[in-house]
Structures are given as structure tokens and as C-alpha cells.
Amino acid sequence: MKILVANLGSTSFKYRLYSLEDGDERMLAKGGYERVEDYASVIEDCLATLQSEGHLIGDSDLDAVGFKTVLGKDLSGCVEADDKALTALEGFKEVAPAHNPAYATGIRMFAKVMPSVTRVALFETAFYQWVPKAASIYAVPQNWHDAGVRRYGFHGASHKFIAERSAQLLGRDDVAAKVQALYQKGDTPVEGAPLRVISCHLGGSSSVTGIKNGVAIGTSMGFSPQGGLPQNNRVGDLDSMAVPYMMKTTGLSLEEAERQLTQEGGLLGISGVSNDLRDVKAAAESGNERAQLALDALVHSIRHWAGSFVFQMGGCDAICFTGGIGENNAELRTDVCAGLEGFGLILHPTTNATTREEGDISASNSRVKAFVIPANEELVVAREVSRFLQAQPA
């Protein structure tokens, strides 16, 4: 089975082609385009490239195109990317303006270029379908609830991969095997001894999720990807009165307030240097106090959310770091785990400092494990699309 995974941004298009056969998972090709203005042309170029490289002969050689869609109004899970999915994307385009319009465009373009190929959407919110209602509800008026205002959660494909892979690394194949069926079945996967994992997806966009027996019990991101941790230029958690206060006292329009929060906030807003953590870190090392404060605020927020999930789950068996920052910033991992020896979490200084690929970075006497697990969101999409296709009636 050949599945093409399409990852679309507001001006980017990245793809990976997978072959999945009887447990054999292979990535056949990958590529991408930046500063995209015409999605139809880059999609056609992508398919022409795959054909010229011998990976595809024609439409019949491709079983499906999978999309890592973000957020749909009144729709989640792994579903056919049909008119209903497009309507769901359109319904929340104001909530995820950098992603929803791009995915809607991409789905339409693939339907035009390859009309006979099945299109499947895996919504990022799908991993959070089993979060307790108390962990997803906001204390807003009922008509806000009715309009869809709630904590959805994002980075679902990444956190689901962490749920599966961490279970394997901890010797809990019972959890790993049953997690794989989560999107297709409504029941929670495991009974018995709990497996409690804190998943930290840290990159340009960041979130922390608590996972118990393979099921998300809560996450830092909220109604939109703007919530939770301070991110590259996303503010993270903010008191709801801050926006009307700034509008009334400074004369900001709603549009300008939104622009400032989404383009000038986050790590950039605190540091005044950059929205790239590498630049912020370099500035902090040169003595820039605001840059150091941005680093401290990020670490504080990660620890805040991780600690809350430890409390909710009654303990922790492992903390996992993924994403560009989580995988490559050993100093940040050290700061996140600092002072937790009494809790049972001890990093191995040398292993932590040198690990960039998958690995156990905890000390031999650490009761709580710490892992670096590189993100593989596209593989999760390919797997779920394959399961979706197999579940369809013949």
C-alpha cells in the first residue's frame, strides 16, 4: 500500500511517500517547497517528480493521500477528506488561519489533479477524543460552548507517536499495540498497571501532553494552537481581559491586537531578539537579560504543565522530549528536569549532552525515565490512513 502524506502550511508544501505492507514500513521519498504561491503547480511537480523517480506510475499506483489537518468544526478523527471535512476546515479557518485554508486548498487541488485517489484527513485533535470533559471545558457561557469554544489540543500525531514509542521503550507492548487502534475505536486501550508519560513536543510550535495508558488525559494547547506554552511568536496562556484592556486603553483595533499577539508575541515578545530559540539562546549567552527571561519563561511553563499532569495521573514513569527544540537542546532538557532527584528523575549528564537521536537520557538510578524520541508525525498519518482504508467495506 502506497500512501502520500501531504503537510501544508500557509506558504509551504512538504510530502513523504510511504509503503506499508504487513508491518513493513518504508519511506520511499520525501521533498518540499517553500514560498508557495500556486499549490496546483507544486502538487503537479511533486507527482511528476515521484513518477520520474519510479515511485509512481500513475494514479492507480497510489492508494491514498493523507493530510495532517489541524482543526475542524464539529469534526475530528481520521476521516475521508470530502466535502464534510472541507466544511469543517472552513468553519474554523479563523481559529487556525495559517493551516486550515492551506489544507482546504490542498485537498481541493489533489481532488482536481488525482480525482480517483482516496483522500483522508487525520485531524490533530483526534488524539484528544478521550480527554475527560473536565479537562477540556472552559468556564464560559453556554452559547460559547455551543459555538465550539473548548480546549481541543494539537500536535496529536506527534504525541500519539510518543505514546506508542515510549510504551515500546518501557517494555509495555500491551499499551503500544492497543494505542494503534485508538482512532478507529471508541474505547480506551488498556486496563491494569498504569503507564504514565509526559510528552513534550518542543519546537517552533510547542505543547505538553499527559498520557496515561496511551490515552491523552490533558494538554497545554487550548481552543487554538495559540494557547499553552510561550512559543516562537505565540503568546501562550493569557488572561481573557488582557485583550479588551489593551483595546480600550491604547486604541488597538481587534485586528491589530490579533496581529500583535500572533506575530509579535511569544519568545519574540519576551526576548525582543527573535522567535527562533537558537537566536534567543545565543543572545542570553551574550548577557541579554530579556533573552534569558524568555528561556526561563519557557522552562517554567513546561514544568508547570508537566507537573499538573503528574498530579492528575498520580505519578510519572517517563518524560519524553521531541520536536526540533526537544531533540536538540540538551541545556533546556536539563533545566526542565532540574531539582527533581527527590521525585525520582535524574538525567545522565553526558548522555543527555550528546543525544540527538532516539535514546534514554536518564541515569541508571533514575526511577523515572527520560527519553529523546524524534518526531515522526508523517508516519503516524500514513499508519492511520492505512488503517482507515483497511476498515472500509470491500
Q: Is 327 annotated as a binding residue?
A: yes
CA 110 to chain centre: 24
Rounded to whole angstroms, the Cα distance separating 218 from 83 reads: 30
Rounded to whole angstroms, the Cα distance separating 321 from 329 reads: 10
Rounded to whole angstroms, the Cα distance separating 60 from 84 reads: 25
Q: Is 326 annotated as a binding residue?
A: yes
Q: Is 384 annotated as a binding residue?
A: no
Q: Is 53 annotated as a binding residue?
A: no
Q: Is 277 annotated as a binding residue?
A: yes
Task: Please say whether the beta carbons of 53 and 34 come within 8 A.
Answer: no
Q: Is 328 annotated as a binding residue?
A: yes
b (16+ CB within 10 A) / e for 336-345:
bbeebeeeeb
Q: Is 119 annotated as a binding residue?
A: no
Pairing status of strand 24-33 against strand 13-21:
antiparallel
Residues 6+ apart with CB under 8 A from 301: 220, 228, 229, 230, 236, 237
DSSP letter assigned to residue 115:
T
Taking the chain, what is the end-to-end CA distance rounded to the nearest angstrom?
Answer: 16
φ/ψ of 82, rounded to 5, equals -110, -160
C-alpha cell at 178: 492497543
DSSP letter assigned to residue 168:
H
Pairing status of strand 196-201 against strand 318-322:
parallel
Using the structure block, give the residue that is written with the C-alpha cell 466544511.
Answer: 87
Task: Please say whether the beta carbons of 176 and 214 come within 8 A.
Answer: yes
Q: Is 324 annotated as a binding residue?
A: yes
Q: What is the DSSP string of 206-249?
A: -EEEEEETTEEEEES--SSTTSSS--SS---S--TTHHHHHHHH
Residues 6+ apart with CB under 8 A from 4: 15, 16, 17, 18, 50, 62, 64, 65, 66
Task: Please say whether the beta carbons of 390 and 118 come within 8 A.
Answer: no
Q: Is 14 annotated as a binding residue?
A: yes
Per the annotation, binding residues for ATP are 14, 276-278, 324-328
Per the annotation, binding residues for Mg(2+) are 7, 377
Per the annotation, binding residues are 7, 14, 276-278, 324-328, 377
